[in-house]
Structure 1
Amino acid sequence: MSQSFGRFEMLLSRGEAHLLATSEVGLSLSAPASRPEASVNFQSNANSLPEDGNGVECHSPPLCLTESKVTFLSLGAFSPSNIGHSKLPCTQLSFGLPPPRTICENSCPPVTINGEPQMSKFMNLARKFNCFYFNGKYLILYLLLNHSKYFSFIFLPPGDLQHCRPFLVCGKQVGVMQARVVEAACRYPDVFQMDSSGMISMHPSLTTYEERSARINHVLSQWKEERLFVTLKGWRNECYEVRTGFADPPLLKMDRSAACLFGVRQYGVEINGYTRHPQLGMSLWLQRRALSKPTWPGKWDNMVAGGLSVGHSVLDTALKEAEEEASIPAYLLANLRSAGSVSFYFESERGLFPNTEFVYDLELPPDFVPHNSDGEVDIFELVPVNQVMERIFTPEYKTTSCPTTLDFLIRHGFINSDNEPRLPELVELLHIPLHYLYSQSSSQSPISPK
């Protein structure tokens, strides 16, 4: 079989992996023998959602994370010019790598084996909040859609091919839908339609922002009444706008609790409130989320955080949330400093979270104490940076707030090349290229599901 198409090559972080065909495992990714790797498992075993005493579900990632040097998939380097042109009669898609060694979140500091740095706690954490990006399914989808003429006869294990489908509006991709959502959406052929390639689109008869928003709200309201998806138990009556890109005009809006069902990109604001305390040293204000919150109740979070809802700009949201969540007065908010953004791709039983968070730093005087005014925060705590660097690894810390915290620790020098040998890779994992991943259009011709 290998003579029919030769060797495929794909650049991965920290080395080159080779895409080979074998009669035993089908299509596999195999690293050079001199660079032993740990496997990346395509399968995810979703556990049932844990509930708190109020019946509120908590997020949890759907897969076990394992050590691997393959940390950032350079999808752009997967060029058709490097791909053989023969059909591949494969029956399975897997990474042909040695068995994994499971890494505990609270493992020891990084060590080296044969001169190679092993997975650190920080890198393992970055894989945790990017679990959808790393579980292999987005890579499969990317290969199938972008290089379909070379992969016409790839057959995946049951469920993988149908795991997710691009969601398009006006011919442009705005999201990714899991199989369970696709199945539910197909009950509404006047709202959603699937083409021969398997892409899901809003019906072309819905031509305006208002029409699309009204129809999808009707569908979501029915799903909520049917208790079809657990995320809709957290219905907010607050909407996110759906766009092809952040700078593009909105195509529709939907309740923010439903955004993860369609895998649409979500945008938010997070503020690092810090102080140079005379006794504690550099410290961060953390909030513990109220138990009444529909998501991540009771978890530790950054001082201020909020989603970018309809009608609010990034700065408006930052100022509004700072006042509502932490009662920060205007004279202190004058010190608010933009610090760019972080992006990541998380998956839980609720759905898919391709998130971009706009980050702000706010230095506060040592005698200032934030207090909550909207009922969404239990308590605030001033935590020295060295303790923050331990707390983010605990189950008590909100997973999707870790990127902003890590970003702060890197920018302020607390995580550096001395205590994190893979610092460049860690920085990359705080900036997943969501704008590149969401690039499908109805003009392309991916393969039809077999």
Structure 2
Amino acid sequence: MSQSAMGYLRHIYNCNTWNPANFTPFCIAGEQVGRLKQPLVEALGQWPERFRISREQVELIDERDDFDYRTAQLGEVVDALVEQGVITHQHGERYPVTAAERQHAFATIDRTSAPYFGLRAYGQHLNGYVRDSEGLKMWIARRAADRRVFPDKLDNMVAGGLPHQLSLQENLQKECAEEASIPPQLASRAVPVSALSYCRETETGLKPDTIYCYDLELPADFVPENSDGEVAAFYLMPVEEVIGLVRETDEFKLNCNLVIIDFLIRHGIMHPEEPDYLEIIEGLHEKL
């Protein structure tokens, strides 16, 4: 895939760059659920009673074929790896360990650990927008400076991970309340519009992620307020200003660029005459 200093396609590239040669498949019950970088493969060698390690794959030794047992086994391993400094910390949210759909999970694992194991992860992002006499505007968030990931970067109005125990609707309501103080009756008007996928290599692992996207047209007098400390400020920007930030800067958190590009396509703002139009659309839906 080509990459230029400006334009939309570079964001597709940045979210979909990884080398399969850097990873070893991680399997449970004969199905591949993730991919591991060599340092984690070596770290898991501490537990020969729990992991069967070969050149071809790392397999969880699944003696009981039981969801809670697998969760406990992985949890004890993650606790030790955090204590050893192999994994930085624990987030406190539980993510599914799955080969496909989030509802068909073999176990759960702490959110921070998911990319270390190269596990599929799921999130929800909401585009809050307003139409007034001046045209289409989007509410854009500025991430707080104390965030572990992408501090100070621009973000979608509402964005968060999707824990295993919550439904899509439950989690969206929670994130809307925490991040932007959107009341339930207003949040319930959010329209599910698409699902994006990408796969990005990091220094410590792999992020094969899926984002469920929502649009919410807001009243002109609504002003979002953050309540959980994740957002430093909100800005109501003309869509032309948002386009300029996406095309010409790296101000947004990486995956938020994809959510905005998808918004521009669906609202007919980005046209088929746009350079690399088809490649951009394909790149928003990478096969995981």
Distance in 2 separating the partners of 1:302 and 1:356: 15
Whether 1:367 and 2:225 are equivalent positions in the alignment is no
Match of 2:11?
125
| Aligned amino acid, residue 218 of structure 2 | L
Q: How does 1:61-100 map to 2 (within 5 A)?
A: 67=3
**Residue in structure 1 matching 2:151, options 297, 312, 321:** 297
Q: Which runs of 5+ in 2 are unaligned?
A: none
> Which residue does the alignment assign to 2:48?
189
Q: Give the structure with higher Rg (CA).
A: 1
Given residue 23 of structure 2, which amino acid in structure 1 is its aligned partner?
C
Q: Pairwise CA RMSD of aligned residues?
A: 1.7
**CA–CA distance in 2 between the matches of 1:339 and 1:373?**
26
Q: How does 1:272-291 map to 2 (within 5 A)?
A: 272-279=127-134, 281-291=135-145
Gaps of 5+ in 1: 1-39, 41-65, 68-102, 107-120, 139-159, 435-450
The 3-state SS of whatever aligns with 1:416 is: coil
Q: What per-residue deviation string (whole Å, max 9, x for no partner) do you get for residues 163-190 of structure 1?
A: 2011111110111111121111122112
2:31 to 172, 178, 181: 172
Larger deviation: 304-313 or 325-334? 325-334
Distance in 2 of aligned mates of 1:348 and 1:206: 33
Q: Identify which of 278, 281, 285 aligns with 1:427.
A: 281
Note the C-alpha offset of 1:248. Answer: 4.8
Equivalences for residues 49-68 of structure 1 within 5 A: 67=3
- 1 or 2 for the larger relative contact order (CA 8 Å, sep ≥6)? 2
2:77 aligned partner: 219
1:411 equivalent in structure 2:
266
Write the mapping of 1:295-444 to structure 2, written as runs, cut at 5 A: 295-392=149-246, 393-418=248-273, 420-434=274-288
AA partner of residue 209 (structure 1): F
Deviation, 1:349, is 1.9
421 and 391 in structure 1: CA distance in 2 versus 1, 3 angstrom threshold: closer
Maintained 8 Å contact 1:346/1:400: no
Matches within 5 A, 1:248-287: 248-279=103-134, 281-287=135-141
Mapped to 1, the partners of 2:218 and 2:185 lie a distance apart of 11
Kindly report structure 1 stretches of 4+ aligned residues shifted beyond 6 Å.
none
TM-score, normalised by the number of residues in structure 2: 0.94
2:92 alignment partner, one of 220, 223, 237 = 237
Instruction: Write the deviation string for residues 275-326 of structure 1: whole angstroms up to 9, x where unpaired.
Output: 11323x2111111112222222221110001111021011211111011111
Count of residue correspondences: 287
| Structure 1 residue identity aligned to 2:86 | L
State TM-score, norm by structure 1: 0.61
